[in-house]
Amino acid sequence: MMHSLPLFHRIAGQPVIVLGEGEAAEAKRRLVDRAGGVVTSDEAAEARLAFVALDEPEEAAARLKARGILVNVVDRPELCDFTTPSLLERGPVLVAVGTGGVSAGLAKALRLRLEAALPQSLGLLAERLGQARQALRQRWPDAGQRRRALDLALGEGGALDPLDPQSSSRIDDWLDGAAGGSVGTAEFRLASDDPDDLTLRQARWLGSADVVVHDPAVPAAVLVRARADAARYPLAAGEAVPQLSGRVVVIRRG
């Protein structure tokens, strides 16, 4: 189970309270500035978010929370309504790595590994895909077919592989000649209940499935590897796999 709900909160042009002095408070001010927010040190300001970087933050945090403001208290995760992740930015693409306040150092280390792996061109690819949204709808009017085509193109070695620096230059050619993503049924048995034991192919099947058909005993930790909008269909004992449309993945246990 996730310890918190990850969200991207738009604050451009909105006031955000930052209380405190020193490097910790300055880091929060820079973070708010970077996201386009308006920093204020006025505790009474009309705001929805606040950062508290005080030696004794309890009373200030309580006052802010009593007004319905979401509060982040530096180095005090037990007082936080939200935590701030370590951020990697590639244009419109934001990758956030969080640990729920348990270890900022670990989040930073993981973000630095991702920095080395994700090319700067990723932002341009995202921008070009955004610009091509209407062309995508015209090429594949059906939402399911459009999603499968994108899954295929954005997969490893695909025409628009995000880790290939040249992918953004191929979008027009891909739209002119790409076929829709594949449909059909793939089936596999779990080697264990540990989702980390999924093979790369199995993980890809799950990540691109429209429907996941599974034994009731398949653990939630495995099912969560599927897309959030993929339909789930638990099979009763002895029940045959039904005829379903789209890309279907069948998971058996044991």
pLDDT of residue 57: 97
Pair (145, 106) in one structural domain = no
81, 73, 60, 63: which is closest to 24 by C-alpha? 73
Among 161, 177, 193, give the residue marking a domain's end: 177
Question: What is residue 19's predicted lDDT score, i.e. its pLDDT?
Answer: 98
Expressed as residue numbers, the domain containing 74 is: 1-84
Q: Please give the residue that has the higher pLDDT: either 238 or 125.
A: 125
Q: How many beta carbons lie within 10 A of that of residue 19, not counting itself?
A: 22
Please tell me the total count of domains within the chain. Answer: 4
Same-domain pairing of 32 and 100: no
Are both 196 and 245 inside the same structural domain? yes
Q: Let me know whether 202 and 228 are in one domain.
A: yes
The mean pLDDT of 36-44, rounded to a whole number, is 97
Residues 80, 96 share a domain? no
The mean predicted confidence, pLDDT, of the chain is 91
- The whole-number pLDDT of residue 183 equals 62
Looking at the fold, whether 152 and 226 belong to one and the same domain comes out as no
CATH code at position 1: 3.40.50.720
pLDDT of residue 246: 76
Query: In terms of domains, do 209 and 244 share one?
Result: yes
What is the predicted pLDDT for the residue at 186?
Answer: 86
Residue 220 has a pLDDT of 93
Query: Greater confidence, 100 or 32?
Result: 32
What does the DSSP 8-state code read for residue 142? S
pLDDT at 155 over 90: no
Res. 177: pLDDT tops 80: no
Say what the pLDDT of residue 120 is: 93
192 and 170 in a common domain: no
pLDDT digits (tens, 9 = 90+) for 51-60: 999 999 999 9
Of the given ranges (67-76, 79-88, 128-137, 223-232), which has the lowest mean pLDDT?
223-232
Burial class of residue 153 (count of CB atoms within 10 Å of its CB; 0-12, 13-18, 19+): buried
Identify which of 217, 227, 218 has the alpha carbon closest to the alpha carbon of residue 248: 227
Asked if residue 137 and residue 167 are part of one domain, the reply reads yes
DSSP string for residues in 152-183: HHHSTTSTT-TT-TTGGGGHHHHHHHPPPPP-
Phi, psi of 170 (to 5 degrees): -105, 5
> Which residue among 137, 157, 177 closes a domain?
177
Residue 207 confidence (pLDDT): 85
Alpha carbons 176 and 135: distance in angstroms, whole number? 10
Per mean pLDDT, which range of 60-64, 130-134, 149-153, 179-183 is the poorest? 179-183
User: Which CATH number does the domain housing residue 104 bear?
Assistant: 3.30.160
Average pLDDT over residues 153-164: 86
Average pLDDT over residues 18-33: 96
- 38 or 144: which carries more pLDDT confidence? 38
Q: Per-residue pLDDT for 250 more than 60?
A: yes
Residue 225 has pLDDT above 80, yes or no: yes
| 138 lies in the same domain as 216 | no
Q: Identify whether residues 103 and 132 lie together within a single domain.
A: no
Highest mean pLDDT among 12-16, 159-163, 199-203: 12-16
> Are both 169 and 99 inside the same structural domain?
no
pLDDT of residue 180: 52
